[in-house]
Amino acid sequence: MNMPAEDVFAPLQNIIEPKWWTGVAPIAAERFVIDGDKFRVDGAPLAPSAELAAAMQTAYDDVGLVHVINTGLTDLQDMRDVATQVLKTPRQYDGGSNPRNAITKNVYEIGAPLEAWLHYHHEMAYIGSSTRMLGFMANKMPAKGGETFVSDNVKATDALLATEFGQKLKRLGLCYHRDLTDREDFIDRLNVGVYNHWQQSFMTDDPDVAVERAKNSGLDVEWGPNRLLKTRFYISAFEYFPELDRNLLYSSLADDHVWFDTWPLVQHLPVDQRPLKLTFGDGSEMTAEEKALFLKIYDDYGMPIEWKVGDIALICNYRFAHGRPAIHLQPGEERELGVLIGESYDRVGDVDGKW
């Protein structure tokens, strides 16, 4: 696809930017922030210990969120050793949308351009095999900005179900539409219009293996022109969370075409040509007003995680959604946030009587 530069980088119009939070955190920091200085020995960098593991596990069980600060750590593997005291079974990232690359063993990059904002979302909600939790490790951070935002999903669920739109989501469910390009079709071509190639998403160059892995993730699959891999996933907008014995919201606008409103080389595409689309389960479209409400629900219960190098955070994928604004680095700055994908589970959707 050959596009003039002025079209590829055309200015944005008629989009709704997330506000991320109200300025008031929905959960007090002392409930989930752990000061690593209290567990360091003789000023040495933070190391795994039974005491630290117990403090992290208690915060995670209580809140679903842990943020370890003042670690003195500068190596991702050392951060991973601390994180895996709670996130005990990291999984391989396969079948995902974002084109993540491994930084080190089972530690992945964010997989999204810094200049794009990333709407609040639950990791891997768009396939049948999701993950229970995530780990984030701050390896490189700019002097200002670079925060990750998390949204209290228990409160967001209650607020959404109190609306007509929430009840409609409950009744109709969702369909996740995803179109993945073929890497071979873009050899020696500018990746205009590319979000992710199916080879990278499913970690194979074999189309039959890609289809098998997609179907194993609960996806309906068909091939389009130029070996475009088109998947569809029908599921509830909610997911049953056993620990609270209730259904929680497990979907967001991150899986709609609005995900690409600030995504370089994709944002210029008409909405019907973008790689992602979210509809109700019966195929009907959401209105602009419904989408604005979907966005606002998460913003109303969001709060920032302000990173320093060495920080570690663990996030329950049921109890929190996560996202971030666009990041603009100054000359010489970098941002590298290592990602751990936690234990996988097969989605069940909502359960009757658990509202």
Q: What is the pTM of this model?
A: 0.89
Phi/psi at 293 (nearest 5 deg)? Answer: -70, -40
The answer to whether residue 5 sits within a structural domain is no
Q: How many domains does the chain have?
A: 1
The answer to whether residue 297 sits within a structural domain is yes
The answer to whether residue 312 sits within a structural domain is yes
For 169, the domain range is 22-346
- Return per-residue pLDDT of the chain as tens, 355 residues: 444 444 444 545 568 889 999 999 999 999 999 999 999 999 999 999 999 999 999 999 999 999 999 999 999 999 999 999 999 987 665 545 554 455 455 454 556 788 889 999 999 999 999 999 999 999 999 999 999 999 999 999 999 999 999 999 999 999 999 999 999 988 877 667 677 899 988 889 999 999 999 999 889 999 999 999 999 999 999 999 999 999 999 999 999 999 999 988 889 889 988 999 999 999 999 999 999 999 999 999 999 999 999 999 999 999 999 999 999 999 999 999 999 999 999 999 999 999 9
The answer to whether residue 14 sits within a structural domain is no
Give me the count of residues in the chain. Answer: 355
The answer to whether residue 7 sits within a structural domain is no
The answer to whether residue 53 sits within a structural domain is yes
DSSP state of 181: B
CB atoms within 10 A of CB 92: 12
312-333 per-residue burial string, b: 16 or more CB within 10 A, e: under 16:
bbbbbbbbbbbbbbebeeeeee
The answer to whether residue 15 sits within a structural domain is no
CB atoms within 10 A of CB 272: 7
Distance (Å, whole) CA 134 – CA 151: 14
**CATH number of the domain that 302 lies in?**
3.60.130.10
192 exposure class (CB count in 10 Å sphere: 0-12, 13-18, 19+): middle
The answer to whether residue 351 sits within a structural domain is no
